[in-house]
Copies of this chain bind each other. A is one copy, B any other.
Amino acid sequence: MEQPRWLDSGEMAAWNAFLEASHRVSRRVERQLRDQQGLSHPQYEILVRLAEAPEREIRMTELAELLVTSKSGITYQVGKLESAGLVRRRSCSGDERGVFAVLTDEGMDKLRGAAPGHVEIVRSSLIDLLSPEQLDALGDALGTVARRLDPRD
């Protein structure tokens, strides 16, 4: 039973800022997408990833890893997007288990329509609040965190 290394005041401030900023930003982004586009943030992220992907398609499990969420969560959200006609499923030739989520033309249109409002809220919630130096440092620090937490979830 070791003595825990408690956080000093600077570390505590960083941790609290991390939590508060995450929640505030996330609430704003989710609300904007919901109110103006009828999309959840995970749904929007799925559309973005698919639009960037070769053939506009990605395997279900890879989607879960990209969005840092559960496989069942992806099944649920892709199901929603499929009902809305924004995505379709395609079974994977060569691996009978596999399923690709594929962006439809409608999905691409939806994404194009949603992107400007999304960028705007991302700017007003994070990017434009910081000086270029601050933003740079933020990207560096969080990039390090994201990278180092990758394998051993």
Mark A residues whose CB is within 8 Å of B.
4-7, 10-11, 13-28, 45, 67-69, 115-116, 119-120, 122-123, 125-127, 129-130, 134-146, 148-150, 153
A139 to chain B, nearest CB (A): 3
Report whether B135 and A141 are in contact in the complex, using a CB–CB cutoff of 8 Å: yes
Q: How far is the CA of A24 from the CA of B14 in the complex (A)?
A: 17
Out of B5, B16, B20, B149, name the residue touching A123 (CB < 8 Å). B5
| New A-B contacts (13) at CB < 8 Å, excluding given A28-B149, A129-B148 | A6-B119, A7-B127, A10-B139, A14-B143, A16-B146, A17-B143, A19-B45, A24-B150, A25-B145, A125-B145, A130-B141, A134-B140, A138-B138
Q: Say how many copies of this protein the assembly contains.
A: 2
Report whether A18 and B24 are in contact in the complex, using a CB–CB cutoff of 8 Å: no
Q: How far is the CA of A1 from the CA of B63 in the complex (A)?
A: 33
Report whether B143 and A13 are in contact in the complex, using a CB–CB cutoff of 8 Å: yes
Closest B residue to A3 by beta carbon equals: B116
> Residue among A27, A136, A137, A146 with the most chain B CB within 10 A?
A146
Residues of B within 8 A of A146 (CB): 16-17, 20-21, 24
